[in-house]
Homo-oligomer: A and B are copies of this chain.
Amino acid sequence: MSSRAPDTPARRQPENLGVLLREPFLAASERLHEHFAEHGHPDVRPPHGNVFQFLDDGGTRVSVLAERAQVTKQSMAELVAHLERHGYVERTPDPGDRRAKLVRSTPRGAELYALAREFVIETEAEWERRLGKAKLRQLRQLLKELNAAI
């Protein structure tokens, strides 16, 4: 540690918007997956959110999931295969198209989804306790506007 300069440029500006946006997101994501691991789902990792997030109730094709998640069919197929191996989704033939298979959530997948929902609600409640109700609402509103503006 002896080589560390006490006041480098990078340390003097922690108000960089990028860092301010990334930090809470990463912290929350990490905690979510720790929460999963502690509740019997250690094999679900951040990229697998790209599957659950885009799954329709009626089942969804891998190619559609890939398009929604902005990754290639091959990458999405691998994520789906992993989740299938661990019992979170199942693939059934699409009755309307013999080329296709429909990816669908299993009960275990639904359980995970419920766990995630709970965690998100609890995390936002925690932030609200710390920041205050008005400020968190304001923050959410501003973030919505920023997202809309981009």
Q: Which residues of A contact B (CB under 8 A)?
A: 1-5, 8, 10, 14-18, 20-25, 27-29, 52-61, 64, 94, 96, 100, 102, 120, 123-124, 127, 130-131, 135, 138-140, 142-147, 149-150
Given A142-B131, A145-B135; A60-B20 close (CB under 8 Å): no
Residues of B within 8 A of A150 (CB): 23-24, 27, 130
Bound CA–CA A143/B23 (angstroms) = 10
Given A3-B58, A5-B57, A59-B3; A138-B142 close (CB under 8 Å): yes
Residues of B within 8 A of A64 (CB): 1, 3-4
**B24–A146 contact, CB under 8 A?**
yes
Q: How many copies does the complex hold?
A: 2
**B94–A56 contact, CB under 8 A?**
no
CB contact between A21 and one of B24, B56, B102 (< 8 Å): that residue: B24
Residues of B within 8 A of A145 (CB): 131, 135
